[in-house]
A and B are shown apart, each in its own frame.
Chain A
Amino acid sequence: MTNVKENRPGPEVTLSPPVDAGNGLKTQEMVISMGPQHPSTHGVLRMELTLNGEIVTRAIPHIGYLHRCFEKHSEAMNDYAKVIPYVDRMDYVAAMNNELGYAIAMERLMDIRVNDRVEYIRVIMSELQRIASHLLAVGTFGLDIGAFTPFLYCFIEREKILDIFEKASGARLLYNYIWIGGLMNDVPADFKTDTAAFVKSFRPKIKELNDLLSHNKIFIDRTANVGVLPEKVAINYGVSGPSLRGSGVEWDLRKDDPYSIYDRFEFDVIVGQGEMGTVGDCWDRYIVRVWEMEESLKIIEQALDQMPDEGDVQEAVPKKIRPPAGEIYCRTETPRGELGYYIISDKSTTPFRVKARAPSFVNLSVLPAISIGAMVADMVAIIGSIDIVLGEVDR
């Protein structure tokens, strides 16, 4: 008989020796499996926690429950355009950003220039998607802490964004809207008014969210000084996105390595300041997301003003996608961080390799480092604050 434990992947957990409590009873650490069916692991993450009472002494994330062979699937597609639906399904709450990254990578590989209208629509779409994704992150974070209602308020707003997407692309979650060299459809006639109306109605909601959740004393107590991710650790682990900015590092690819037309917009990079506790705690990571929504609104407003009304969105869509032999690495800033695509072409219509550097995966790796000494309840807060999407972690 084979020992199941021996075949288990991951490091072997050794418990500390039992301690005599003095009255004939012995206490020992406890290993507890958090997930993959745990309500707060944001999908199918499994955390193997070693607990001393309620204090976490070791946390090992186990992943792979949602692995769908994204890379192998891509290599099996006989058309580069057919990869886009798969790309959508990586980070399924921010599909537009995933598509944008892939489209830009392919356009750089094939040296395609898209016209301004396409660029502006793409930027508006991906910023709307960023808001939608942050709303979900912020809402579920509140849910992890125990506040149910802000979660649904966030979803109401997110729904409005999804309605805009649905009008433009026909889908609510997995759009396949941004194509290589253009877009699937032109936006509908009332796109501008819809989006402007959303921007206008959304600003007060951020304030409401702050009043209801961000500045709630209980919420602050639960998140401030919890799961502190120091700047150096964050950089060493390759953390990116709001989680990195929460640690006070001003690093946003939209500013530091502008792609598409992000160099045309005025916006600030939000960084965590440790207002309520230490720089890089859960509250900082949370509030960075909240204020990033505000910055995205700014970008959307500017883009709506500057967006040209004329232009064929399928102008540059190649009839047959046959990139020259070569390779490219292209990175973009998704709501979760730096999403990089490494694409190798062998001059055929089939991708030779499509590798994705998923931000969630990298961000997740920092979890064991920052969760030592936390309590079980903090563990939930930490997982929520680094905002992972398991679809992207496992791909």
Chain B
Amino acid sequence: MVKALSDTYLTFKTIFTGMGITFRHLFTKSVTVQYPVQRDVLPERVRLKLHVNIDDCIGCRLCERACPVECIDIGTIKSTDDVDLGETSTGHKKKLWVDKFDIDMAKCCYCELCVHPCPTDCITMVEEYEYSVYDRNDLIFPFSDMTPEQIEEANRKLEEEAEAKSRKKEEAMLAKKKKAEAQAAGGEADGDKPKDAASGGSTEAGGSAETGGEEAGGEGAGTEKSGTGKSDAEASGDGDADAEKAARRAEREARRAARRAEREAKKKSE
């Protein structure tokens, strides 16, 4: 009986306490933000949408590598010697055409891992959050400003240049061979000369293939990162890859040929 009474008392007491609290809240100011009309001031670091300032992009693919969900898709074309792509606002030299820079915001997990490695700070999170669409494909945002014609031209030029270079190299090689043969024939044991020539040729051929990567990482981060950048450029998969491979192959062959010539020359001299 006593318990029943105390329970009843407790029930009413706690119910009235609760009702007092809710009644107080009935007249406190509400916390609602009436969204389309009122908007919260968003903090500076807010992560809402990825944006790429394509003018500053050097096509280093660090962001693509950093993405855990593979929502960034980048394609680059090596620029030819006759084109100057200029510099980014951070002073990096641009060596690659970026013919494709698609970000699929439907896949994006907003982790911001891509933003941090960027050497030129061209990929950023921006304060834009009303971009719902009806078709999921509309969430793929292309950032490259190259037209198909420009891409085609860049590819063509690259091919032409690669062709021209390999032709040049062959000629150089032929010349070297001839020279070496001539030297060997001449009986002079001057091994340094052909070596010089060969390495000179190799830098010419392979240099431009690597510089893109070097530019990408070299200035932006420490040694480790530069290594990544370099390997990136070397391992890049798309349009310019074949050209690069071809260039490297040509370089390797040239070096091998030079060494062979050297060995033969030595043998002969002995």
- Give A residues with C-beta under 8 Å from B: 77-79, 81-86, 88, 149, 153, 156, 159, 166-171, 174, 176, 184-185, 188, 208, 211-213, 215-218, 319-320
Contact = CB atoms under 8 A, between A and B. Distances in A.
B112 A167 contact: no
Q: Output the residue of B21, B22, B31 with the most chain A CB within 10 A.
A: B21
Given A82-B113, A174-B109, A218 B11 contact: yes
Nearest to B31: A156
Contacts of A216: 14-15, 17-18
B232 to A, nearest CB: 12
Contacts, number: 89
Nearest to A217: B11
Interface of B: 7, 10-11, 14-15, 17-18, 21-22, 25, 31, 42-47, 65-69, 109-113, 116, 125, 221-225, 227-228
Contacts of A168: 45
B125 A211 contact: no
Q: Output the residue of A166, A170, A174 with the most chain B CB within 10 A.
A: A170
A167 B111 contact: no
A176 B110 CA distance: 9
B112 A212 contact: no
Contacts of B22: 149, 212
A170 B69 CA distance: 19
A320 B225 contact: yes
Contact of B228 (A84, A156, A166, A320): A320
Contacts of A88: 111
Nearest to A349: B228
| 4 interchain residue pairs of minimum CB distance | A170-B45, A319-B224, A85-B111, A82-B68
Given A217-B10, A319-B221, A208 B21 contact: yes
A288 to B, nearest CB: 20
A170 B125 contact: yes
A211 B21 contact: yes
Nearest to A216: B14
A174 B110 contact: yes
Given A208-B21, A216-B15, A320-B227, 9 more contacts: A83-B68, A84-B113, A166-B46, A169-B45, A215-B14, A216-B14, A217-B7, A217-B11, A319-B224
B116 A184 contact: yes
Given A216-B14, A320-B224, A166 B43 contact: yes
Contacts of B65: 78-79
A85 B68 CA distance: 8
A212 B16 CA distance: 9
B45 A82 contact: no
A211 B18 contact: yes
A171 B14 contact: no
B224 A167 contact: no
A358 to B, nearest CB: 20
A319 B109 CA distance: 22
B218 to A, nearest CB: 13
Contacts of B42: 166
B61 to A, nearest CB: 13
A81 B68 CA distance: 9
A314 to B, nearest CB: 9
Contacts of B125: 170
A225 to B, nearest CB: 14
B225 A170 contact: no
A217 B6 CA distance: 11
Contacts of B46: 166, 170
Q: Output the residue of A85, A88, A211 with the most chain B CB within 10 A.
A: A85
A367 to B, nearest CB: 29
Contacts of A170: 43, 45-47, 112, 125
Contacts of B68: 77, 82-83, 85-86
